[in-house]
Amino acid sequence: MSEHADFLVIGGGLAGLTFALTAARSGKVLVLTKGSSIESASDKAQGGIASVVSDDDSFEFHEKDTLKAGAGLCNVEVVKTCIQAGPECVSELIRQGVVFSRVNHDVNGAFDLGKEGGHSRRRVLHAGDFTGHEIMQALIKAASDEPNIHLVENKLAVNLIVDTPPSGRPERLCRGVFALDRRDGSIDAILSRSTVLATGGAGKVYVYTSNPDVATGDGMAMASRARAQMANMEFVQFHPTCLYHPHAKSFLLSEAMRGEGGKLQLADGSEFLTAYDERGSLATRDIVARAIDFELKKRGDDFALLDMTSLDPDFLRRRFPNIHESCLKLGLDMAKVPLPVVPAAHYFCGGVRTDQQGRSSVPGLYAIGEVACTGFHGANRLASNSLLEAVVFGRLAAKDAIDWIQRTPSDPPTAPLWDVGNAIDSDESVVVSQNWDEIRRLMWNYVGIVRSNKRLQRAKRRIEMIQEEIKEYYWNFLLSPDLVELRNIASVAELVIHSAGRRAESRGLHYNIDHPDKDDQNFKSDTVIRRTASGGLETVEQDLPYSW
């Protein structure tokens, strides 16, 4: 069985649905989600969306904060595009039904703007402390009401379908994806005139992450296998404050808590961050996470503390209702006791390299949201800029894709069949679980917040061995969701390790103790790699933009 669409969107988070709602005006849109339509990192976003909407703020201030956080690797033009599009994107979200918090709960009043690490002004629009959920509920409803959008749940993308176009042009063309139905195990070809990766990040590559279980780097891995250019995979952001509790799986404590006056402390109650940055607890995430990691390892502590006890209890309940209630269920009253926290893998600043329209280096293939590397975040993402980027590039990519399908053949070619070969049902699932655990632990220990040449070399040797085991398993046994995701996290791990090994300096989210200083002379540029025809990795020097 196969399906056809004008626009195929793989992933149903904020970027994917923004693209779908824009593109639906010009054709049929098929949106695939690997789980339920609400299950995404976008839905978990607590802080909000950064945009210039107040009189004491300006595009210049927001741009300056973003560029400073990005440590010299932001694309200045992309930064300007995203930030200057912010107010219109916010207005569009409101038209789609999103309700942002207002001062004194006045529906016509000023926005209740938050401030987070690295921001010089209050500019973070939020809906309490569950902004992502509020936005996603509104967009899912809007997409469900749109007749040109078809949402399909429980479809796990396996491989992109890439071949030479029938027109005889020499370049390769993406024309869809093979997808595994999680309910019955069938694999079908889904063809499209444009394919959009909106699959989110890859936090599950690490043992400790704030990401949902679906964040296994599927889009990054598939694009890499299709030989798309990948950029800056070494820059993995670790959120400083994930709740440390045996029953709190991946529960994030929003950066807005520090923006409202929360202070980070060591287990003995002493503050420590001013020794690392004059902004203290409001320094950018790379600095704060690294400082916590260093202090915990030096002292042998299991966690640091986020102290909110100096703030009014009623204010805490109003401003952070979800976090407050969730902590109470775990026996923690943030108004009375500091909360134990540890850093956790949170966001990939690298990904599929794109131009300013979201186009990848493979014609017909777009990438938007966390799966993409647009140049907006550079070496470190400024808090709450991710939702802004998702909306901006969701719209830009959709507009470009509309133009693209008008220039490409309208009749889809015959769908290829998935060849199972001699594969059989697996009776050794322990191989999958063992490699899954080993990859995540080696990435945490060797390619985490702090790296070294020796750690990276060890990680490289081990991931090569694991990749061989997975490759053999992949060809011998029928696919399962666990095997598909294992293959993908292994691929992403390899990309991160390879990219980190190439950057012999410390910049933004990449810190190597053997190269502790920034080296602008040799490394003030993106790390761009792609797979060779034989499956290895090579460095790419090709300039953007791409011409399709």
Distances (CA, A) of 7 to 23, 27, 398: 7, 7, 9
Q: Which of 175, 210, 159, 65 is nearest to 488 (CA)?
A: 159
Would you give the end-to-end CA distance of the chain in angstroms? 30
Tokens of 280: 């203290």
Nearest-angstrom CA–CA distance, 114 and 66: 16
According to DSSP, the β-strands at 537-539 and 372-373 are unpaired
Per DSSP, the three-state class of 485 is helix
| CA 506 and chain centroid, separation | 22
The amino acid occupying position 539 is T
Distances (CA, A) of 178 to 2, 188, 368, 533: 9, 6, 20, 20
**Residue 207 exposed, middle or buried by CB count within 10 Å (0-12, 13-18, 19+):** middle
Residue 283 DSSP symbol: S
Per DSSP, the three-state class of 517 is coil
| Catalytic option among 175, 193, 258, 285 | 285
Nearest-angstrom CA–CA distance, 445 and 128: 35
Backbone angles phi, psi at 214, to 5 degrees: -75, -10
> Which residue, chain included where needed, has tokens 């195990």?
185
Residue spans of beta strands (DSSP E) within 198-284 = 230-231, 236-243, 263-265
User: Would the CA dihedral through 379, 308, 260, 262 be positive or negative?
Assistant: negative
Q: Among this protein's residues, is 285 annotated catalytic?
A: yes
Backbone angles phi, psi at 480, to 5 degrees: -130, 160
Residue 543 DSSP symbol: P
Tokens of 86: 């912010």
Q: Write out the H or E segment, with its range, that includes residue 317.
A: helix 313-319
Q: Which of 462, 469, 456, 439 is nearest to 511 (CA)?
A: 456
Nearest-angstrom CA–CA distance, 294 and 472: 39
Per DSSP, the three-state class of 173 is strand
Q: Is there a contact between 507 and 73 (Cβ–Cβ < 8 Å)?
A: yes
Q: Is there a contact between 354 and 232 (Cβ–Cβ < 8 Å)?
A: no
Using CA atoms in the order 210, 509, 59, 198, what is the torsion angle rounded to 10 degrees? -50
What residues pair up with 178 in beta bridges, in sequence order? 159, 189
Q: Which of 125, 60, 135, 119 is nearest to 87 (CA)?
A: 125
Q: Which residues are known to be catalytic?
A: 285
